[in-house]
Amino acid sequence: MANRREFFLKIVPAAGALAALPGVGFAQVAVLAEDEKLAQSLGFRLHTEQVDQTKFPKHTNTQMCAGCALYSATGAESAKCKLFNKIVPKTGWCSGYAKRG
């Protein structure tokens, strides 16, 4: 029992110190790429001007991630999208766009 106790007394503080280091984290979020399956299925583009108007006729260039209810930050250059659970640019767009109200 003493060995297990010693192990936990050493590992818990070490894990805490590791998590406190800058740039090291357990919850880093990936950046969404246009070629990912889900991104392709929803017509995601890094820039709203690049959206195919024939596939998405209701799209307008004023619609972009920054104005979407699923974009987790306002005013940021990029933020986490609740739909993709990844980082997207504020200038992006997908067919899941929902105007922030």
The predicted structure's pLDDT at residue 12: 52
How many Å apart are CA 28 and CA 14, to the nearest integer? 19
Number of structural domains the chain divides into: 1
For 19-69, list the strands marked E by DSSP: none
Domain containing residue 31: CATH number: 4.10.490.10
**pLDDT tens digits, residue range 19-72?**
444 554 446 889 999 999 999 999 999 999 999 999 999 999 999 999 999 999
**pLDDT tens digits, residue range 74-89?**
788 999 999 999 999 9
Q: Are 44 and 94 in contact (CB under 8 A)?
A: yes
Residue 94 lies in a domain: no
**pLDDT tens digits, residue range 43-54?**
999 999 999 999
Residue 17 lies in a domain: no
Q: Are 72 and 80 in contact (CB under 8 A)?
A: yes
